[in-house]
Amino acid sequence: MTDPERPLTEVEVDELVRKCKDVCLNEYPNPDRVGCPSDEAIERLAHEDQDLLRNDELISHVASCSPCFRKHVACREQMRSRNRLKIAALSTAAVLLLVFAVLTVRNLSMAPGQTGISKGGVPPQVPESRAQTESQPRAQPDRATPASKPDQWVVATLDLRDLSGSRGEGETRPRTRDLARERLNLRVLLPVGSPPGPYEITVQDLDGDFSRSVTTDARVNAGETSAQAKVDLTEAPSGPLRFGVRRPGADWAWIDVRVR
């Protein structure tokens, strides 16, 4: 058997998504449309309405009702053709999110000790069991929070304009900044007077276990230097972190950050 701790490969994830999608599309006919939400709700869900994305009941229904799921997929496709660049991989990710959300909801609603997808165990619901026994997805409760968020980049700003280059050890540290536990599309306002050009940006924990680094190009606009950086903080530890920025080869300027 495969090591249960081994992360899924990209091919396995694709296969899992395909199988889950097939199951969702075809295995729950619901001809009487029992319990179906309005088309508008499904459309809003497809458009990642934040309130609806937190509605476990709705997500659970859409993922286990083929007509609703088809409608959801159709909405996603429509969105995709409308804005191909922006949501390239989103449809797949949305399916994954739905599947993980359903597995999480199901696991949470089971009695302690029941997993529903334990090896050799008989899963309680026949249609869903096909996907599980064929592909052995592993629902990890501790990963439920990031996995249940929409697969999108959240726009945020980090204002470093009051930072002055590198700092000595004895100097007063600037205040700790909060960053959201999201896939951040971060606009970094660089210290006043920073020249344009390439910058390295990093978010690390103090032990070096967690590190996300990007290289970006800063621009000056109306006297303000800013750089755009995509940083995935969904798996950042909750302890103290530091955010560093520098021009290649120069000293890092650090500030303390906390991811919430």
Which residues of this chain interact with Zn ion, rule CB under 5 A?
36, 65, 68
Alpha carbon separation from 11 to 15, 115, 138 (Å, rounded): 6, 25, 15
Q: How far is the CB of 34 from Zn ion (least distance, A)?
A: 8
* Beta carbons within 8 Å of 149's beta carbon, 6+ residues apart: 53, 97, 182, 234
Cα distance between residue 138 and residue 117, in whole Å: 7
Q: How far is the CB of 26 from Zn ion (least distance, A)?
A: 14
Cα distance between residue 220 and residue 67, in whole Å: 51
Q: How far is the CB of 28 from Zn ion (least distance, A)?
A: 8
Q: Which helix (H) or strand (E) holds 187?
A: strand 183-189
Q: How far is the CB of 129 from Zn ion (least distance, A)?
A: 20
Cα distance between residue 72 and residue 39, in whole Å: 9
Q: How far is the CB of 227 from Zn ion (least distance, A)?
A: 45
Residue placing its CB nearer to Zn ion in the complex, 65 or 98 = 65
Residue placing its CB nearer to Zn ion in the complex, 30 or 114 = 30
Q: Which residue lies nearest Zn ion, judged by its C-beta?
A: 65
SS3 at position 209: coil
Q: How far is the CB of 134 from Zn ion (least distance, A)?
A: 24
Residue placing its CB nearer to Zn ion in the complex, 31 or 208 = 31
Residue placing its CB nearer to Zn ion in the complex, 24 or 68 = 68
Task: Compute the radius of gyration of the chain from its Cα atoms.
Answer: 22
Residue placing its CB nearer to Zn ion in the complex, 22 or 217 = 22
- Work out the number of other CB atoms within 10 angstroms of the CB of residue 249: 6
Please report the beta strands in the chain, taking only residues with DSSP state E, as ranges in sequence order: 153-159, 177-179, 183-189, 197-205, 211-221, 224-232, 241-246, 253-259
Determine the straight-line distance between the first and last CA of the chain, rounded to whole angstroms: 37
Residue placing its CB nearer to Zn ion in the complex, 59 or 117 = 59
